[in-house]
């Protein structure tokens, strides 16, 4: 028998910061390498060194490209990692866009904090730079889905289509004949742009996301809600601001709004897409047509309908535009990006509507708005919130509890260990109980920096 030591370095007791490190007799493997987001105490962990030696990691395997699964990679490289970072081709394309964008944002935020003096750090330093992001991207190595790849004599892996975002997978890792399955983020069974996730057939050790482990997505008429909000925006001569994740959510919103216009359900209201990263992600849809449902003709017709903003100068032109309008801008949890500039100028106006779409993590401005905050802090200053706040949950890219249970139903064996990760405490514990009731399987909830040893 051989021992595998599992280090839970993120997404343990919380949603963000996915990082799992496996020490095996033949390979040391990092699965995902994400940043923490949300609560200040979580964000501060990003600056702390990992309790492992990065130079001893043989490979990093990525389930998908989101920041909370890839955003720590440049710091890992700074700490001494220098080998391959492997994912599907669209995952690496997305990760490259996200890392370059976030490196630029880190540099800009540090520069702004230093100029305006609102950081307690003197000088404020970027978390990582664009140059460090590029050094990381140089290590990317694409692999096909559905194909086993060998790491060593007794260790191999395979990526499996998982919905959620373009390129996303769950990971099967075969170590001495035992199957370690990492769910990554499980997508929806019904999605406008993506196919349903594949489901694992066997798992000896299962690492399962639990973002919505205690909830079902509501039955919402998304199209009618958007029609009503657009009509209200026109009637009140206001602005509809939609903070959006640049990957998948932005493209889904564009598709729905384009379809509503094409069906004459909304007038030709100006719609501005202000997400440089989101614009780059659109090109990934064009590059990898086999990974989504849109035809090239639909894709091009859709993109032609919107005002795509390229520069920060155009952001200000859009703010000054007196017409009623819709603005979709990053980021989805209002943690950064261009949406902050719009909110600073518009969130104090009663004619403004802010539509939050999808999950809002603890400690984010999105969660504060959702919970009725009367003011939010933007660029070091508090701004009163007089805008109407709306929320769409059913557009979430994450499976809800019933969809997660459906994803599990295909597993033929009883897993030796189930580790519930990527969830807030209440969701994790509720899902633990639900799995016990539904399957009779025991699941455990690892804590941050916990280490578990298993035999293979």
426-435 — which CB contacts under 8 Å span 24+ positions?
A: 426/214, 427/210, 427/211, 427/212, 427/213, 427/214, 427/215, 428/13, 428/210, 428/213, 430/213, 430/214, 430/401, 431/210, 431/213, 431/214, 431/401, 431/404, 434/213, 434/214, 434/401, 434/405, 435/405, 435/408
- Beta-carbon contacts of 300 under 8 Å, excluding residues fewer than 6 positions away, are none
> Both 237 and 359 in a single domain?
yes
Whole-angstrom distance, CA of residue 391 vs CA of residue 347: 15
Of 370, 392, 414, which residue constitutes the final position of a domain?
Answer: 392
DSSP state, 56?
Answer: G
The helix, strand and coil proportions of the chain, stated in percent and rounded to the nearest 5, come to 35, 20, 45
- Beta-carbon contacts of 265 under 8 Å, excluding residues fewer than 6 positions away, are 223, 227
State yes or no: cis peptide before 437, omega within 30 of 0. no
Number of domains composing the chain: 2
CATH number at residue 323: 3.40.50.10890
Which structural domain, as residue segments, surrounds residue 134? 3-215+397-455
CATH number at residue 58: 3.60.15.10
> Both 388 and 404 in a single domain?
no
> Both 89 and 39 in a single domain?
yes
Instruction: Note the pLDDT of residue 375.
Output: 97
Of 377, 392, 407, which residue constitutes the final position of a domain?
Answer: 392
> Both 283 and 303 in a single domain?
yes
> Both 151 and 273 in a single domain?
no
> Both 261 and 350 in a single domain?
yes
Q: Which two tokens stand for residue 149?
A: 């790849």
State yes or no: cis peptide before 331, omega within 30 of 0. yes
Of 339, 359, 392, which residue constitutes the final position of a domain?
Answer: 392
> Both 344 and 263 in a single domain?
yes
> Both 99 and 138 in a single domain?
yes
> Both 236 and 171 in a single domain?
no
> Both 342 and 401 in a single domain?
no
Distance between the two ends of the chain, CA-based, in angstroms?
6
The pTM score is 0.92
> Both 369 and 266 in a single domain?
yes
Whole-angstrom distance, CA of residue 197 vs CA of residue 304: 30
Low-confidence stretches of the chain (pLDDT beneath 50): none
402-434 residue pLDDT tens: 999 999 999 999 999 999 999 999 999 999 999
> Both 31 and 169 in a single domain?
yes
């Amino acid at each position: 028998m051989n021992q595998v030591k599992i280090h839970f370095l993120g997404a343990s007791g919380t949603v963000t910061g996915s990082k799992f490190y496996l020490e095996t007799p033949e390979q040391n493997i990092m699965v995902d390498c994400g940043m923490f987001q949300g609560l200040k105490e979580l964000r501060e962990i990003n600056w702390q060194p990992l309790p492992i030696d990065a130079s001893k990691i043989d490979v990093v395997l990525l389930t998908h490209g989101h920041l909370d699964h890839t955003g720590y990679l440049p710091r890992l490289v700074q700490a001494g990692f220098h080998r391959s970072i492997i994912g599907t081709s669209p995952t690496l394309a997305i990760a490259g866009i996200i890392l370059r964008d976030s490196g630029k944002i880190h540099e800009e935020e540090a520069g702004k904090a230093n100029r305006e003096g609102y950081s307690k750090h003197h000088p404020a330093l970027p978390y990582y730079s664009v140059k460090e992001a590029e050094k990381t991207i140089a290590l990317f190595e694409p692999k096909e889905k559905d194909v086993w790849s060998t790491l060593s004599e007794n260790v191999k892996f395979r990526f499996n289509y998982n919905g959620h975002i373009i390129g996303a997978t769950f990971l099967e890792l075969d170590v001495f004949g035992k199957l370690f399955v990492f769910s990554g983020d499980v997508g929806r069974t019904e999605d406008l742009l993506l196919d349903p996730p594949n489901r694992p057939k066997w798992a000896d050790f299962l690492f399962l996301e639990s973002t919505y482990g205690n909830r079902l997505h509501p039955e919402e008429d998304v199209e009618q809600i958007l029609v009503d909000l657009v009509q209200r925006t026109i009637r009140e001569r206001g602005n509809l601001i939609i903070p959006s994740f640049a990957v998948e959510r932005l493209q889904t919103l564009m598709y729905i709004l384009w379809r509503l216009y094409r069906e004459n359900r909304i007038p030709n209201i100006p719609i501005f897409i202000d997400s440089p990263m989101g614009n780059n992600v659109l090109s990934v849809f064009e590059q990898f047509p086999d990974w989504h449902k849109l035809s090239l003709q639909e894709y091009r017709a859709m993109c032609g309908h919107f005002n795509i903003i390229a520069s920060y100068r155009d952001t200000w032109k859009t703010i000054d535009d007196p017409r009623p309008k819709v603005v979709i801008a990053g980021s989805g949890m209002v943690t950064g990006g261009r949406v902050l500039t719009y909110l600073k100028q518009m969130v104090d106006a009663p004619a403004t509507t802010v539509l939050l779409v999808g999950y809002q993590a603890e400690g984010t401005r999105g969660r504060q708005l959702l919970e009725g905050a009367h003011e939010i802090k933007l660029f070091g200053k508090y701004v009163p919130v007089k805008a109407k706040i709306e929320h769409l949950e059913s557009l979430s890219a994450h499976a809800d509890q019933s969809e997660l249970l459906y994803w599990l139903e295909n597993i033929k064996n009883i897993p030796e260990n189930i580790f519930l990760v990527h969830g807030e405490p209440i969701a994790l514990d509720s899902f633990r109980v639900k799995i016990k009731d539904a399957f009779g399987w025991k699941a455990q909830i690892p804590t941050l920096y916990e280490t578990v040893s298993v035999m293979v």
